[in-house]
Chain A
Amino acid sequence: MTEIKPPPITREVARDLGRARFGEVPVTPDASVDKARQLFNESKAEQALLELASPSLVPHDEKDVKNSLVKRYSSERNGDGKKVEPSDAQERRRLREAKGKAEQYRDFLENGKISPDMRKEVKGFLERASAGFQDAIVGKTPTEIDAMVDSYVINDPVFRSKLIRIYGERADPKKSMNGEKEVHDLELSLAKLEAKLKGEVSDVELQNAQTAVATAEANLTASGANVTEIAGYQTDFENLAPHMNAARSALASKGKIDFEIIDAQVVNLQSQIDSGTLSAADYKTTFSMINTLKTKSEYAEYKAAQSTVDRYESAKAYMDALNPTQKTAINEVTSTQAKLKELKDKASGSMSASERADVDAQIMSLKIELADAKDALQAEMVGDYRDVTHMAQDVTQEMLNEEMKQLPELYKKAAVEESAKQQEEVVKQQELGDELNKYKELELNSASEKLLRLWKTERTRRGMVTLVTNRALAGDVVNGWVQHGNEGIRDYIDTIPDADLTHSGFTPGEISVLRGTMVDPDRSRVFLDKNADVIATHALADYFVAGGRFGKAEVQAMAGSEKGRSLLKLAMKDVEEQRTSKNELAGKGVLRGVDNIIGGRPSGEKRRFGAARIGLAALLLIFGAAAFKGSKG
């Protein structure tokens, strides 16, 4: 037997096979080892495994899961760097939905409660992805469809066991976004580089600062102030200001009075010296005393402090005496000069132009990397959000995929069985057809036999039923055949009413098969090729046996037609074949007819023989021999 190859799995095939998914209600397990053992003892190993695979314990603490979702979907941190509830609308939405779905899955796993949202998720997927489901829900109400989803998918123990596994993986509180660290590292690197660049002074900044100083100085000049004096006093003021506290303290110190007395004495002595009133000895003593006093370090310090205070106060008094415009101008000059100085100080330690260009390039590159990393993180967040909110759908898809893997085998089996059945059916039909054809053939043979006596009618004589040839009918048959060959016989058969056929002994089956054969061009041709000559020759024989004779016209027509001539040739041949048995037939009256036909007379007088006469004589000889043979048989 040749191997039956199944056709490819088309969408339609998959659809048919997919229907099987929605015809079987799974058994709801009762999770306990004892129950599993009981099932195992009943040789239900797979049921036992289902019991063990679906315990009530759902992985991860509910609160931990929620916190981990905040950690995953929020990009905001508090002062301690800890992730907090997001403020971004998209992140808030993702977090809200993910928390909701995680809660629903948990509720189902812990309490068996199927939320409308979860059912909608599974149903939506089935409606999109399963042709079998699409077919199964045709004509169903929404309530019935929901019941199907619950019964055939969600309450399937395999669904539950898969959901537990997927929930364990996707809701794991330890899970975090892989891209977080990369974004953080890049942000840190970028901040460092930008901080480095902030210490740099650009040429433009320096130029601006110098311009500001020049403007301020011009304003000061315009205010009518003596810039040179102001510069001197201002320098004193600025230089002495830091030392003022120390100088004042020195002046207010314990030795202040002493130094003032000394000062007074020095002045007094000096005046005495200058007046020349002192004696030489006094002068020497006084001069020595003054020098001694002046060389004392405390005195020198006192004098320096006093000078500092005096100069500062003098400068301050000068500055205070300036008008407001001049004061403003001076302040502007001071601040712009300070800014310029600051910039110049910075510039003295800054990087070169090429170093700066390098840092700029690094910053640009980091910014691009950071943008890409943030995009990748967002994509990861969205992907993770999708994973958390589509657990039920993914479980359903996994189940369908596993079943789809089996489709080729299932289909092969179904197709092979179907093909084998079809082959069996074909063989059966063939056998039946052969039987039928055989039977029809028999009926047709029987019908063709009966066609040979259609020109005969029954006659009862002295209680004996015999068949008597209706010579006119037989003549018509021969005529039809002579004139039109096989078609003449066809016309003859077609014009016989069914009633006449029935009357002649045809069964309804024989009539049916005969009519069926005659209307079929091929079969009727074969039938007539086989039987027309036989019918014609039988009709001819009966015609002659019944005393019929051909007139000149018929004989000429016969000799002149191809059919007639072929029949004559056939007859002549048969005559030759029958010649061997002629002696046995002689004397039994068979040849007497031949003599009559060919015109011989008992007296022995010879008549003129024509070709037609010889032919007819030969025919009669054949039929006579056949009739004799038949009577013997």
Chain B
Amino acid sequence: MAHTQLDHDFLSSKHSLIHKITGELLDELQAGKLSQSAGQQLAIEVLEGKDGLRSNEELITFLKKISSEYPFLRKLHKDFQSSILQSNTAKELKKEDIAKLEQIQDQLVKLSGSA
């Protein structure tokens, strides 16, 4: 199946999240803490839900939902949510820096023109 044309960063974090959920799920199954049918149910939920996720917000909502049903995912939910927040903050700061630089450049151009 082909992937949709989405932001590369988002796809990357989605794949990373699915990878982490799978890892946690396998750990629980192999430790005997989760029944095979519950594991199957979660696997189905992730497989069927993943294609509909199109933004970081949707990823967080999805993770919140499954972590309420499977408590071993709560930590992952918390970590993922904070990493997305940090990433968003970093992006905002970067945007602000770029805007400032452009502003300075504009001023320099104006000064050199009037000189």
> Do A and B assemble together?
yes
Of A48, A54, A409, A412, the residue contacting B26 (CB under 8 A) is A48
Does chain A have a CB within 8 A of B114?
Answer: no
Give the number of chain B interface residues (Cβ < 8 Å). 28
| Chain A hits for B1, CB < 8 A | 24, 403, 406
A52 surroundings in chain B (CB, below 8 A) = 25-26, 29, 39-40, 42-43
Chain B residues with CB below 8 A from A46, complex form = 18, 22, 47, 50
Partner of A49, one of B4, B6, B36, B46: B46
How far, in angstroms, from A527 to B25 measured CA to CA in the complex? 80
Residue among A36, A37, A45 with the highest chain B CB neighbour number at 10 A = A45
Check A40/B22 contact, CB under 8 A, given A33-B29, A55-B40, A161-B44: yes
Q: Which residues of A contact B50 (CB under 8 A)?
A: 46
In the complex, whether B95 has a CB less than 8 A from a CB of chain A is no
Check A158–B47 contact: CB distance below 8 A: yes
Smallest CB gap from B52: residue in A: A405
Closest chain A residue to B4, Cβ basis: A409
- Near B by CB (< 8 A), chain A positions 160-185 give 161-162, 164-165
On chain A, the residues within 8 Å of B42 by CB distance are 52
A320 to chain B, nearest CB (A): 88
In this complex, what residue of B is CB-closest to A411? B5
Q: Is B106 an interface residue (CB 8 A)?
A: no
Considering only CB atoms and an 8 Å cut-off, how many residues of chain A contact the other chain?
A: 32
Residue A218 interfacial (CB < 8 Å): no
Question: Contact at A37–B26, with CB atoms within 8 Å?
Answer: yes
CB A260 to nearest CB in B, in angstroms, measures 98
Q: Is B2 an interface residue (CB 8 A)?
A: yes
In whole Å, how far is A99's beta carbon from the nearest beta carbon of chain B? 25
B19 at the interface (CB under 8 A from A): yes
A440 and B22 CA atoms in complex are apart in Å by 66
A402, CB-defined interface residue at 8 Å: yes
| Residue of A whose beta carbon sits closest to that of B16 | A45
Known contacts A37-B26, A402-B51, A413-B4: does B19 contact A43 (CB below 8 Å)? Answer: yes
**Residue of chain A at shortest CB distance from B42:** A52
Say yes or no: A53-B47 contact (C-beta < 8 A), given A33-B29, A48-B26.
yes
CB contacts (< 8 Å) of A412 on chain B: these are 5
Q: Within 8 Å CB of B4, what residues of A?
A: 406, 409-410, 413
Q: 16 A-B pairs, CB-CB below 8 angstroms?
A: A33-B36, A36-B22, A40-B19, A46-B18, A48-B22, A50-B47, A51-B43, A52-B25, A53-B40, A57-B40, A161-B48, A164-B40, A165-B44, A402-B48, A410-B5, A413-B5
User: Which residues of A come within 8 Å of B, CB atoms?
Assistant: 20, 24, 33, 36-37, 40, 43, 45-46, 48-55, 57, 158, 161-162, 164-165, 402-403, 405-406, 409-410, 412-413, 416
